[in-house]
A = this chain, B = another copy of it.
Amino acid sequence: MRMSAEERRESVIRAAMIEFARGGYRGTSTEAIARRVGVSQPYLFRLFPGKQAIFTAAAERCIEETWRVFDEASEGLTGEAAAEAMSEAYMGLVEDREQLMMQMQLYVSVFASRVAGEDEIGEAARQSWERLFERVRERIGGDVNGTTEFFAYGMLINTLVALGFPREHRIWDGFDKHGEQGDGVE
């Protein structure tokens, strides 16, 4: 039961990803996170300076993990083969929806906090995103247009999954014949 502060922080981040993914920043109580961790609510504030910091940590972890999945899936591959491997891996990644929704929550939260005046979280998010983009680009082989297309289809996948379109729905039809055009999705 008892563990080091660092280990606890780790499990808080994992729990926070799940809870924030579901409820967003404002819709998630620190109580809910603490309950999931199995720890008292006030203790969170010993591990993190505040709720905002927990969210930021979860968001950063979320993007990192995306790269981890891409990296594993495309290890040793390049070009089109790498893109296809990463696309397939991404479809699997969004399947469990926590990763996906945490991503979306991050996007809206960045905007909200920018409106509120503080853009720290946005600064961090942009950096993480750009790094992810560059890593994917490198893995694919340096093609900027191809990488952009890769992410474009990824963002559409995000939207359709978030909206709850089942994979059999005809809205997904445009993904089927896509290998022919060399985009690497599906």
Contacts and interface: CB of A to CB of B under 8 A. Distances in A.
A162 interface: yes
A162 B105 CA distance: 11
Contacts of A130: 171
A153 B178 CA distance: 15
A156 B148 contact: yes
Interface residues of A, number: 48
Given A24-B112, A148-B174, A174-B147, A159 B155 contact: yes
9 contacts: A23-B26, A24-B25, A26-B26, A105-B108, A111-B162, A126-B163, A147-B174, A148-B173, A155-B159
Interface of A: 22-27, 97, 101, 104-105, 107-108, 110-112, 114-115, 119, 122, 125-126, 129-130, 133, 144-145, 147-149, 151-156, 158-159, 162-165, 171, 173-175, 177-178, 181
